[in-house]
Every structure is written in structure tokens, then in C-alpha cells.
Structure 1
Amino acid sequence: MKQIQDIAKDRELLLGLAKNDGKSLEIIYSENFPPVLRMIYQYNGSEDDAKDVFQEAVIILYEKACKGDFTLTSRLKTFLYSVCRHLWLKKLQSSHGMYALPTELEEIIPAEDIVDEHQEKDEQFRVMESAMGSIGQPCKTILEDYYMYRKSMQEIAEKFGYTNAENAKNQKYKCLMRLKKLFFDKYNTSL
């Protein structure tokens, strides 16, 4: 059911794009630019590179949508991601003579899987941020100190007044289990 809704939404966006509807263009950018930006970063590009490539892909999409005989055979996000990947790899190949994928390999790599994977990871990060925001203190600070700031258990024990590093480690474990429960509760309800 969701797949049918997504395809219908993509078709509406294409119609809006062909009619120069600013809202359709805004939605296309907001939903499809982030995965393209990550892909360009992955290949040592900049945000400006990503904007240029994405703009070029949207122009290609616009021209196809205006012709009226264009049939979208995949999700819009897959189409745009594939076009952007192709444009970027072509640009890298011509300017650096590197990072180019052989044509047969380009055809094998399923762009839809890559886009879906990125969206899944984005959703997981959003849920994790939400879980971290609701875990409370001192757990939030203990986990941040250990995992983000790479503080030792001894430093954490001293900071929070635990008698030794082993007690701090036990508290970190309890916090981690609490975070895990919050994460999965929130993640399962967001599906």
C-alpha cells in the first residue's frame, strides 16, 4: 500500500514540476538532495559539487517531465540518485581519471538499495537522537563522555563521584541498556 502511495506521490511531483510548481520542486529537493550530498561526500566532493550535480539532474528530470511522454519506471528518489551518481562519476572520470566505475559494474549496483539504506540509517539516527534526548542525566552525559569524547572509565568515575572505574562501568552498562530499550521502543513505533 505504501509503495502505491509513494508512486502516486512521485507522479504528482512530476506533474507539478512540469507545471513549474515551486512547492513540487521544494519537495523534490528536500527529499532527494541529502542522499546525493552523502554520495558526493563519499567520493570526496563538496556541498557545492553536490548542488551542481543535483541541479543538473533536476533539469534533466524537468525536461523529461515537460515532454509528457516520460514514464517513471522506478521511484523518483532512485531515478534522481542514479542520474546524480552517473553525472558525478562521469565528472570525476573526466577531471581526475579516477573513481570511474566500469559500465557493467554501474549497471549492477542497485541505486534503490543504496537510497533505501541511507534513508533507513537517517531514520535510525533520528530515533537515536530522540532516545538520547529522553534518557535523562547522568546517563546521557556518561554515554556521551565515553562514546563521543572517548573519556576513560576512571575519568568518568572521578567526574560523577563513583568509588572506582568498575562502578562507573556498571553504571554505563545500565545506561546503555536503558538507551537500547528507549531506542527500540521509539524505533518500533515509528515503523
Structure 2
Amino acid sequence: MRGISFGNFLIKQVVEDLRRDLPGLTDFVTPSPVPGFARWLAEQAETIPSAAHVLDLVANEGWHADAAVRDRAGQALLPLAAQYFLEARTASGKVIDPVARFHLGNGARLERIDLLGDLSPRALRQAHGLMVNYRYKLDDIEKNHELFSARNDVAAAPTVRRLLPKAAKPAAPRLPAQPQGDEDKRDI
């Protein structure tokens, strides 16, 4: 079994067991923690203004119980979480989140980011309550695994990709003003 991770073997075994017991299943989804998100977010506070803003919002222990604070924090947390999963890398170029590396390396797709998916003290401390769903679709597992292994590409649902902060678009080139002289007149 050299070269096959225990996690990969375990996931394949669970999928096979579930398929045997429930033959109609083709997709498998797992809720997962985000243990390094809060630490990463704190590290970004000096370079990403929205990170500093959201850290101020979640600084109070009961922030998630206040609807107004929860809504403002959510609007800032979700794009930052998408950036964390889709763009943040270690010094060696790997996806920064260890749970993401496990699931993505086993062929899953990042399906959804769940705001306040886990309100336990530990999850609030490590991830500001975020959880994510990884989807194992049998037809896509091998392709997702290969892309991740070869290029560190994160398979992600379009809804997750749309959460990424918009990059500043370059201004459209200005066209020269149209001449107002005789060259604009048409013969009729």
C-alpha cells in the first residue's frame, strides 16, 4: 500500500460501504472544520483591510448572537474564507488549510462555506464559527485528485468561487473624442 494514504483508503472504503448499503448514492458530502482560519485571518490584518475590520467585529465573545454584528461579520468573513481556501498557500505552495489538503487530495470539491456552522467555543476561536462542506462526487473524484496533486488546483463550486473578493478591474481605455467637423457629415 506504499503511496496510498490511509485517508484515501479510508474514504474509498466508506464510499464503497455506503454504495453497497445505499446503491442510489452518487455524491457524498462531509461537514468539516477550518482549524487555521482565525490564525490566518489575524496574520492578514495588516495587509487586508477587511480582515482587520472583521476581527474588530468578532472580538466580543457573543458577537454571533447579535444579528446586526453577525450580518456585518458574515459579509466580510465569507469572501475572506474563499480567499483562504482558494488562494492562500504555504511557503512551499500548498493549500494552507490541513483539512482542505486532506479532502482535496482525496478528490473532493469544496462545495460550500458555512457561516456559523459550528458555534462551539473551539470553532469560534479557531475559525470564527466557519465550517465547510466537501463533496465527493464519484464521477469527479479522480479528476479532482489529479488536478490537486499535479497543480494544487482547488476544485470548488461556483458559489464558493463567486465569494472571492473582486479584483480591481483596469479602467476601460478611453476612445478619442469624435471630430465634430465636416468628416462627421454624411451625404444624403
TM-score (norm 2): 0.31
Specify which structure has the higher proportion of helix. Answer: 1
TM-score (norm 1): 0.30
Larger RCO (CA under 8 A, 6+ residues apart): 2
Specify which structure has the higher proportion of strand. Answer: 2
